Amino acid sequence: MKVEVVEKTAKTISEAVNLALADLGVTMDEAEVVVLDEPSKGLFGILGGKPARVRVSVKDTPVRRAREFLQKLFKAMALPVEMDIQEKDKTLCINIAGRDVGVLIGRRGETLDSLQYLLNLSVNKNRLERCKVLLDVEGYRQRREETLQRLAWKLADKARQRGRNVVLEPMNAQERRIIHTALQDRDDIYTFSEGEEPYRKIVISPKKHG
């Protein structure tokens, strides 16, 4: 990954650094600063003064990699978006907002999952310390989780009332985990998964009492 570097001079170190950051389009947290020359006043504060000179380079961070990957993608798609990137405990949480961003979600989040997978590959390429990337579009994943939890309870009640198994549609591992977790404390049914990926599905089965 190309690391960008610029050198700037100004009356003060702070001014020189700000000029460099503006050129690179990064924040102070994303940059490394080396002071090449301290500013000095000349004779009588007038003659022979020397400006500050700094070299500022862009850090090759997970945040930087993620932002560059997504910016290139959205530019190619001609899709204006806003990105919110939060980094915590070696995890990047990225939320995308804007008009027409539904195209990034796809059917039951399949496009979003694929994009998240590619983003993880890009962010972690040639890195010794891996960073987990979670990608969302306008809070879709939270809404989807709540929908699956309601569905889980509804179908669990159905399985108990009818006394026979209820088989759900195929889901990815993350969504199956939501279903299992939602129902794990119920004592009238149990859940298990069957089938092979990508057609693996959950079965909700009533418990036999007595």
Q: What is the pLDDT confidence band of residue 60, given thresholds at 50, 70 and 90?
A: confident
Q: Would you call 85 exposed, middle or buried from its count of C-beta atoms within 10 A (0-12, 13-18, 19+)?
A: middle
CA dihedral of 46, 50, 51, 57, whole degrees rounded to 10: 180
Residue 1 pLDDT > 60: no
CA separation for the pair 178, 144 (Å, rounded): 10
183/199 same-domain check: yes
Q: Would you call 54 exposed, middle or buried from its count of C-beta atoms within 10 A (0-12, 13-18, 19+)?
A: buried
What confidence score (pLDDT) does residue 56 get?
Answer: 93
> Dihedrals φ, ψ of 34, to 5°?
-120, 125
Order of all β-strands in the sheet with 31-37: 5-10, 52-58, 31-37
Q: What is the pLDDT confidence band of residue 43, given thresholds at 50, 70 and 90?
A: low
125/184 same-domain check: no
77/46 same-domain check: no
68/132 same-domain check: yes
The per-residue pLDDT of the chain, averaged, comes to 89
Looking at 14, 38, 58, the residue that finishes a domain is 58
Arithmetic mean of pLDDT, 89-116: 91
Q: What is the pLDDT confidence band of residue 26, given thresholds at 50, 70 and 90?
A: confident
Instruction: Check residues 45 and 174 and name the one with the higher pLDDT.
Output: 174
Overall pTM surpassing 0.75 (yes/no): no
- Where in the sequence is the domain holding 199, given as residue range(s)? 142-206
Looking at 58, 83, 103, the residue that finishes a domain is 58
> Of the candidates 25, 89, 96, which has an alpha carbon nearest to the alpha carbon of residue 62?
89
Residue 32's CATH number? 3.30.30
132/192 same-domain check: no
96/126 same-domain check: yes
Residue 162's CATH number? 3.30.1370.50
CA separation for the pair 9, 6 (Å, rounded): 10
Q: What is the pLDDT confidence band of residue 45, given thresholds at 50, 70 and 90?
A: low
Measured in whole angstroms, the distance separating CA 192 from the mean position of its chain's CA atoms is 30
174/201 same-domain check: yes
Q: How many helices (H) and strands (E) does the chain have?
A: 5, 9
Q: Which residue(s) pair with 137 in the sheet?
A: 96
103/148 same-domain check: no
129/169 same-domain check: no
47/106 same-domain check: no
What confidence score (pLDDT) does residue 3 get?
Answer: 55
CA separation for the pair 85, 94 (Å, rounded): 5
Residue 105's CATH number? 3.30.300.20
If one counts the domains in the chain, the total is 3
